[in-house]
Amino acid sequence: MSIRKAIKLASLNNVGSSALQMLYNEMSKAYLYHSFAYGQECTYCVVHVILAALYYKSGQCRAAIDHCQQVLKQLTTCYQYGVRSIGAEYLPQIDEDVDAVLGLILFYGYVQKNFDEKSETKNKDLPSFSTELLARYLYSKCSNMMHAEGYEVTLYRQHLFDINQLLLSDVLLFKTTEPQLNKCTRTPDVEVRIHNVGNSASSSLDTSLLVTTLQLVALEKLITYRQIVLCELQSGQFLSMNEFEALYAYKCGLFKKCLEMCQSYLNASLHRDCLTIQSFRVSAPEMLSLLDGELVSLFGIVRLINPDVSSVFSVLQPYRQISVRTLSLYLMVQCQKKLSVDMHDTLQLIRFVHSTTDDYFDRLVLSVIYRSIKISKVRINN
């Protein structure tokens, strides 16, 4: 069941969102790693091939090579259980070369079926690839991407000649990619590191990317709904910024874009008389999880000191919040650190905002921001 769910998720390509596509891939990996726990040895080879394809697709070549090695080491077990090939319908979309081979075979089958009355199409499913040769293909492509020595192409070719049940798709895939693989740059030192990646693939998944993609997908949804709300509230007395859009840019590493958004909002909010200021509810766990580590740690300490502060149902304890102005200042400082921008003017701005706000949590966050700038300056000077 885990493998079926993984295949279903990996096949969802046209989702209209790169973050959602990344999330599906990471969830697919999680299900595949989960399948190792069942101890069904007959599925291991297939799981390693699909994992190798997913890691190759996401550009994580070392992990892909690790799983390819596992397939090549477990060939005897694979053949024992009759797992010699894997259907294309069970694979994620890998790359253009694989797509071209599948398209050519399907087109030939269509022509043969419609123009040759004597031909009988016995298999209506998509073509299959030999498990061993697909692993060798991914291994060679990853080695090429990492500028490893080109003798992997020789091994790939040798396995193609030695295999007993050779498929048309295997031959076409090799002939399609052989010119590309032969262009590999020869750097022996890198090649040694590749082959010392490890003898066994990890049976656990690094969930950090899964968590990040969950946050990005959530922010994409929040951006859309926040924009609708802001359009309804937009007025001279309510200066607005889509804070989720700024958070999304920050999470994606678009620090310059995030910095510009925050600076624009701060300049406008400080030079206009706004009766209403946007707020960000930090006591809601769903909102707090979208923030950076420093703020999460800060409000975690606050909750440890006063657990009732985050109570949703308490009448005496309403939702605690910080202003979007304070959040913008925090994001601006974080981006300036990443971009190595001088923060002298930012220190003065923090002092000014701190002196004009009465909210306890806002002043607390501003104090943390101010101190972090001072600490970073000391580190730079030392």
pLDDT at 90: 85
pLDDT of residue 203: 52
The residues facing 280 across adjacent strands are 322
The per-residue pLDDT for range 224-256, each reduced to its tens digit, is 988 888 887 765 556 678 999 999 999 988 999
The distance from CA 81 to its chain's CA centroid, rounded to whole angstroms, is 34
Q: Give yes or no for a contact between 52 and 138, defined as CB atoms under 8 angstroms apart.
A: yes
Q: 134 near 86, Cβ under 8 Å?
A: yes
CA 141 to chain centre: 21
The DSSP output letter for 90 is G
> Taking a C-beta distance cutoff of 8 angstroms, is the pair 201, 69 a contact?
yes
Alpha helices in 167-322 (DSSP H): 168-181, 188-195, 208-233, 243-251, 255-270, 285-288, 293-305
d(CA 82, CA 88): 17
Q: pTM for the full model? A: 0.71
Q: Which two tokens stand for residue 21?
A: 């596509």
Are 68 and 136 a contacting pair, CB within 8 Å?
A: yes
The mean pLDDT value of the chain amounts to 78
The Cα–Cα gap between 238 and 228 comes to: 15
pLDDT tens by residue, 275-288 = 567 888 887 888 88
Token readout for 298 is: 């800060």
What is the mean predicted confidence (pLDDT) over 120-126?
56
What's CA 40's distance to the chain center, in Å?
28
Neighbours of 302 (CB within 10 A): 18
pLDDT for 68-108, tens place per residue? 888 888 888 777 777 788 888 888 888 888 888 888 888 88
Helix (H, G, I), strand (E, B) or coil at 277: coil
